[in-house]
Amino acid sequence: MKWAADTEATPSNSGSQELPASGGMGICVNSTYDSGNIEVISISDPNERDVCHTLELRIHEDPFCESDRRAHFQWFSYRVSNARHEKLIMKLMNAGQASFPFAWHGYSACASYDRHYWFRVPTQYDKESGVLTITHIPERDAVQYAYFASYSYQRHQSMVADLQSRDSVRLEMMGQTLDGHDLDILIIGEPAPEKRKVWVVARQHPGETMAEFVAEGLVRRLLDRADGVSRKALREAVFYVVPNMNPDGSWRGHLRTNAAGANLNREWAAPSAERSPEVLLVRNKMDRVGVDLCLDVHGDEALPHIFLAGNEGIPGWNERLAGLQQRLSDALLRASPDFQDKYGYGKGSPGKADMRIAAHAIGQRYDCLAVTLELPFKDTADAPEPVQGWSAERSLRFGAAALGAVLEVIPHLR
CA 49 distance to own-chain centroid: 40
Tell me whether residue 205 or residue 221 sits nearer to Zn ion (CB atom): 205
Rounded to an integer, what distance in angstroms lies between the CA atom of residue 95 and that of residue 131?
6
Identified binder of Zn ion from the candidate list 53, 136, 205, 378, rule CB under 5 A:
205
- Residue 199: which H helix or E strand, with range? strand 196-202
The number of residues that bind Zn ion (CB under 5 A) is 3
Closest approach, Cβ 205 to Zn ion, in A, equals 4
Residue (of 25, 1, 3, 23) closest to 14 by Cα position: 3
Catalytic residue of the set 8, 190, 374, 408 = 374
Residue nearest to Zn ion (CB): 298
Rounded to an integer, what distance in angstroms lies between the CA atom of residue 276 and that of residue 287?
17
Closest approach, Cβ 215 to Zn ion, in A, equals 13
Closest approach, Cβ 212 to Zn ion, in A, equals 12
Strand order in the sheet with 182-188: 169-176, 182-188, 237-242, 196-202, 293-300, 369-376, 307-309
Tell me whether residue 81 or residue 265 sits nearer to Zn ion (CB atom): 265
Q: Is 278 noted as a catalytic residue in this protein?
A: no
Applying CB under 5 A, which part among 20-28, 84-92, 203-211, 332-340 lies near Zn ion? 203-211
Residue (of 364, 371, 367, 373) closest to 320 by Cα position: 367
The DSSP output letter for 234 is H
Cβ neighbours of 193 (radius 10 Å)? 5
- Residue 232: which H helix or E strand, with range? helix 228-236
Per CB under 5 A, which of residues 119..138 are in contact with Zn ion?
none
Identified binder of Zn ion from the candidate list 298, 305, 360, 378, rule CB under 5 A:
298
- The reply to whether 356 sits near Zn ion by the rule CB under 5 A is no
Closest approach, Cβ 391 to Zn ion, in A, equals 18
Closest approach, Cβ 209 to Zn ion, in A, equals 11
Could you tell me if 370 and 191 are in contact, meaning their C-beta atoms sit under 8 angstroms apart?
no
Applying CB under 5 A, which part among 103-111, 154-162, 205-213, 361-369 lies near Zn ion? 205-213
3-state secondary structure 44-111: ECCECCECEEEEEEECCCCCEECCCCEECCCCCEEEEECCCCCEEEEEECCHHHCCCHHHHCCCCEEE
β-strands 293-300, 196-202 pairing: parallel
Applying CB under 5 A, which part among 32-40, 285-293, 296-304, 330-338 lies near Zn ion? 296-304
Closest approach, Cβ 297 to Zn ion, in A, equals 9
Tell me whether residue 43 or residue 302 sits nearer to Zn ion (CB atom): 302
Tell me whether residue 80 or residue 262 sits nearer to Zn ion (CB atom): 262
Tell me whether residue 72 or residue 205 sits nearer to Zn ion (CB atom): 205
Rounded to an integer, what distance in angstroms lies between the CA atom of residue 285 and that of residue 283?
5
Applying CB under 5 A, which part among 111-119, 206-214, 242-250, 267-275 lies near Zn ion? 206-214
Rounded to an integer, what distance in angstroms lies between the CA atom of residue 11 and that of residue 15?
8
Tell me whether residue 325 or residue 372 sits nearer to Zn ion (CB atom): 372
Interacting residues with Zn ion (CB under 5 A): 205, 208, 298
Active-site residue numbers?
374
